[in-house]
Every structure is written in structure tokens, then in C-alpha cells.
Amino acid sequence: MQFRTRDVSLVESTWKQFVPSAVLHDVDPQRFLFDWHSGELGAASLVRYDLAAEVRSTAEPHEQFLACRVSGPDVRIWSDRDDLDPTHPWMSDGPRVHAQWSRGARVTALVFDRDVLQQLARQFTGDDTLALHASELGPKSDAAAASWNRMFAYLEASAAALDDDDVTVRAELGRHAAAMTLSTFTTSIEQSRHRPAQSSPAPATVRKALDFIAENAHRPITVDDVAAAVHMSTRGLQYAFRRAIDMTPAECLRRARLDGAHRDLRSGAPATVAAIARRWGFSHPSRFAVAYREAFGVLPSVTAGAHRR
């Protein structure tokens, strides 16, 4: 899809088709020009637009990973925590990122559905228990940022040459986009590398159980509920988990809840650490703090403080 317009209302409505949380503030309509290009690449939506106007914008992805770069002569990029380098791409899976410019800018972005990117990350790593989340907004290094920028230019040029029936090529380009993006930014993949490697893919029943845990960890479910959801006995499920991924269902459920609490703490939501802990099934704040520090290396109060105004 591509078009040019001077209709301010089309900008936010178009961008919201890809990132529903996107908001534009203080757009100057007097010198406004919007030039939009986008395409679907299987696992990723590719977006590039030029916006000539004085603009302030906010993105707070929900159930998405947004990898983005905003370039221009006077661009400023910042989160609720600190300023970001405008020459580099950034990636968020929840924390708010703001951008502002007055002399025009180009936005290049890859948008991934959370479940799709997590599934690809599990395939890439061979870790069927991986709960994917971004650990930092910025890239790992200057070299990683430069590689992502080159990758985006390659994807855009390749997508422009494709026909509508080039489904296989689009899918492969989407996988390439996912792999390069995951290698550019620090994610929970790094934590998974410290766990024992799986010797073989988890069987279908274990994968279904892991999906059920991921979808329902915020609810007061038990291991018995997980077993019932995949039509197994609790003892049989425990044996299957140990054999397939060398973890118990209880350990996986606990990790999914810690990951959920971590996302909420990083989001800057106006809730206490104790309230977030209770939301994810941790009734004892001190035990939650110990488990959280073991998983993420810092106390939950540190994460919460770093991502709030």
C-alpha cells in the first residue's frame, strides 16, 4: 500500500492499522505532507513513511513488538525512562516511546505480532519454553544498529519487486526480518541460553500445554488445570515436561507469571509492586522479590522505578 496525502486525519488512522496504540500530538497542518509505503512480509509488517510537519507522537505497543527508527534533522526520541539515540532503531513490546520533530522525518518500522515472533524465536533457539520480551529499548551496539538499517533497506527493495502471488518469498523475508531484529536487540533469548538445551523438540502435547500456560498465566490456574486442558493426567504431564524440556509444569507456570509481572513493571503502569505481584499470583511480596531478582537480576522495585516518570 502506498499513497501521498495532505489530510492530517489519514496519518493516525493509517498508522493505527499497524500499531493501534499510535497517537499523533500537535501536528502542524500548515506544512503537512504524508507519504506512506507499507507491505506484508509473512511474520512482519513493513512500514516506511515520510511526514513533513511539526509532530509529536507516542507508541505503546500492545501484544506486538515494534522495531522502529525515526530519522530527520531535528528528531528527538525518548521513553519514560531516558532519551534514545535518534540515529539508531529501537524496539518496544510495551513501554511507551515518544518522538518529536519540527522539520520533517522518515519513519521506518517492522511490526510483529507477539505470538508470531515468540513462536519464531522458539524455532530459532530450540527453546519451546521461551517467553519472549525485550530487555532494552536500544540495540546491542552501533554495529547491530547499522545491520538493522541495512536489513530494512534490503527488505523494502525486495518487497517492492514482489508480485501478490510470491507468498513463499514473502514468508522467507519475514523470517529474515524476525531473525535480524532478534539479533539486533537484547531480549529474553539471552536468558534462555543459560538454561540446559533441549535435546529434541517438545511433543505436541507439551507445546499445547505451554501455549495454554502463556495464554492463561494471569488467571488463577494450577498444574491440574494445565493437564486437563491438554487431556492428560497431572502425573503424565509432569513426566512429559521433564522428558521434553527438563522443567516441571509448575516451573514453567511460575516463569510465565514472572515474565508477565516483568512486562507490567516495565510498562510504567500506575500500580504498586505488590499489586502487580498479586495480579500474577504472588501473594507474598518478599518471596516475589526474591524470585524476581533470581530471574531478572534486579529487584522489582528497580524495574518499576526505572520505567516510571
More confident residue, 103 or 26: 103
74 and 110 co-located in one domain: yes
Last residue of a domain, one of 154, 175, 195: 195
Query: Are 212 and 247 in a shared domain?
Result: yes
**Predicted local confidence at residue 228, as pLDDT:** 92
Residue keyed to cell 503537512: 32
| For residue 198, pLDDT beyond 70 | no
Maximum separation of any 2 CA atoms in the chain, in Å: 68
Residues 86 and 34 reside in one and the same domain: yes
Query: What is the CB neighbour count within 10 angstroms for residue 230?
Result: 18
The number of domains in the chain is: 2
Q: Please write the tens of the pLDDT for every residue from 120-134.
A: 998 888 777 788 889
CB 85 within 8 A of CB 65: no
- Clarify whether residues 120 and 212 are in a common domain: no
- Is 90 exceeded by the pLDDT of residue 146? yes
Domain ends where: 195, 213, 234?
Answer: 195
Side by side, the strands of the sheet bearing 83-84 are 23-25, 55-59, 97-101, 76-79, 83-84
Calculate the average pLDDT of the chain.
86
Assess whether 6 and 110 both reside in one domain.
yes
DSSP output for 69-97: EEE-TT-EEEESS-EE-TTS-EEESSS-E
Contact indicator for 140, 182 with CB cutoff of 8 Å: no
Q: Looking at the whole model, is its pTM more than 0.75?
A: no
My answer on whether 137 and 223 are in the same domain is: no
Same domain flag for 109 and 256: no
pLDDT for 178: 95
Residue 137: pLDDT band with limits 50, 70, 90: very high
Same domain (yes/no): 142, 2: yes
* CATH code for position 284: 1.10.10.60
Q: Structural domain of residue 152, as residue ranges?
A: 1-195
The model's confidence at residue 233, banded by pLDDT at 50, 70 and 90, is confident
Please report the pLDDT score of residue 1 as a whole number: 77
Residue where a domain stops, chosen among 143, 169, 195: 195
Q: Which strands form 44-52's sheet, in the order they lie side by side?
A: 2-5, 33-41, 44-52, 105-113, 64-71, 90-92
Asked whether residue 180 falls in the same domain as residue 215, the answer is: no
Most confident residue range from 19-28, 49-58, 179-188: 179-188
User: Residue 254 contacts by C-beta under 8 Å, 6 or more apart in sequence?
Assistant: 291
* Average pLDDT of span 244-255: 90
Closest CA to 133 of 91, 97, 173, 161: 91
When pLDDT is averaged across residues 188-210 and rounded to a whole number, the result is 72
pLDDT at 24 over 80: no
CA angle 187, 289, 133 (to 5 degrees): 15
